[in-house]
Structure 1
Amino acid sequence: MAINKLVLNDFLEEEKFSLIGIHCTIDDYRLAFLLNKALDIKLTRLDFDIDNNNQQANFSIFEWEDSSQFKTWNLVSNTCKVISNQIENTLNSLFSQNPTVTKTHHLVPEYGKANYLLKIDNECLTNNEKLILEKILKIDQVITAYSIAQESLKSKDQLIFN
């Protein structure tokens, strides 16, 4: 009797996208405004944040669908600071304190130093990544920006937004 084997990798199509890591200290809405101006795009804040249930962290996301070039642009925050109370096992006394602890979570931990990630989904392979990087680097508030290779990502699943 013949044994048939179904390989799922034949059916899974690799998503085509460009990813740019951006280092800057400004707020997400300000960076989205500056990127809109520099790149002539229209990023808008989505009604929901990306929720990472494992770490109780929320990451802000901006999106623009360019229907003329079949591209979807996403700007997502890579860092989230969560403040929690550290409960001590002491009795309630006059001098007991509940110190707060701030934990920093990253959407893509292997690039934790990047404050923001700009993901460009490409239906067609018309990629001008070098030109986009040059325009981003001309923004005064941006410290640096660089391209991130898909092969170097261990947590690609975190970048699926739809």
Structure 2
Amino acid sequence: MAALKLVLDDAFDYDFSLIALHCSLESYRLAFMINKYAHLRLKRAKDIDFYNDQHKFSFASYKFEDQKKYQTYTLLSNKYKMRYKQVQLGSDLFAEADSEHFKTLNLVPEVKNADFLLKIESDNGISPKLALLPHLNLIPQIITAYEVDVSTIKSKQNLIFE
């Protein structure tokens, strides 16, 4: 009997919008400012965790579910600073000196310059990103906010965490 082979031609449809934010604020301050200027109610949610060989990477997350408009807003930190020590062996004055180094890891590497990402999921088919962008750009601490084309992102599976 011949083997049955199923081929998935259609890729998974990602039905969310993404806004990149360039800002040097801490995540809780940015969530407060977005709540104030964009009239959302973002609250602290569980961190997004990724695991590598020996390391755990946690990205801060804030969430607001608008029950009336069937929309979910999620503010995500796009950067994680990993600290590691490097032992340098040498025969000079500072032999076996420990030096601390930092490496920045991104949740979505395609927008590595963005500090935060605002993910907008809408069940009614209407995305409020165009109405939301002017409110975000009014926040003095945000350098810029712009829409990211989700279809061009290769690591969009990092944004699916529920």
Shorter-chain TM-score category? 0.7 to 0.9
1:45 aligns with 2:44: yes
Matching of residues 70-149 of structure 1 within 5 Å: 70-89=70-89, 96-149=96-149
1:63 and 2:63 matched:
yes
Residue 69 of structure 1 aligns to a residue in which SS?
coil
Please give the TM-score of this superposition, normalised by the length of structure 2. Answer: 0.88
Offset, 1:33? 0.4
Q: Which moved more, 1:56-65 or 1:102-111?
A: 56-65
Q: Provide the secondary structure at the position in 1 that maps to 2:105.
A: strand
The residue number in structure 2 matching 1:6 is 6
The structure where strand makes up a greater share of residues is 2
Give the whole-Å Cα distance in 2 for the aligned partners of 1:90 and 1:104.
27
How many equivalent pairs are there?
Answer: 159
Aligned-pair identity in percent equals: 37
Where in structure 1 are there 5+ consecutive unaligned residues?
none
In the alignment, the residues of structure 2 paired with residue 25 and residue 123 of structure 1 have an alpha-carbon distance, to the nearest angstrom, of 32
**AA in 1 matched with 2:50:** N
Deviation of 1:3 (Å): 7.3
State yes or no: 1:32 paired with 2:54.
Answer: no
1:19 matched to which residue of 2?
18
Residue 98 to residue 41, structure 1, CA distance change in 2 (3 Å): same
Alpha carbons 2:84, 2:100 under 8 Å: kept: yes
Give the secondary-structure state (helix, strand or coil) at the position aligned to 1:87.
strand
Query: In the superposition, relative to structure 1, how do residues 16 and 53 fare at CA in structure 2: closer, same or farther (>3 Å)?
Result: same
Deviation of 1:13 (Å): 5.2
Aligned residue for 1:134, secondary structure, equals helix
Rounded Cα–Cα distance in structure 2 between residues aligned with 1:58 and 1:13: 25
What TM-score, normalized to structure 1? Answer: 0.88
What is the CA-CA distance between 1:122 and the residue it aligns to?
A: 1.2
| Moved segments of 4+, more than 4 Å | 1-5
Q: Deviations over 1:28-79 (max 9, x none)?
A: 0000001111121111111x32112126321111111111111111000001
CA distance in 2, matches of 1:143, 1:61: 20
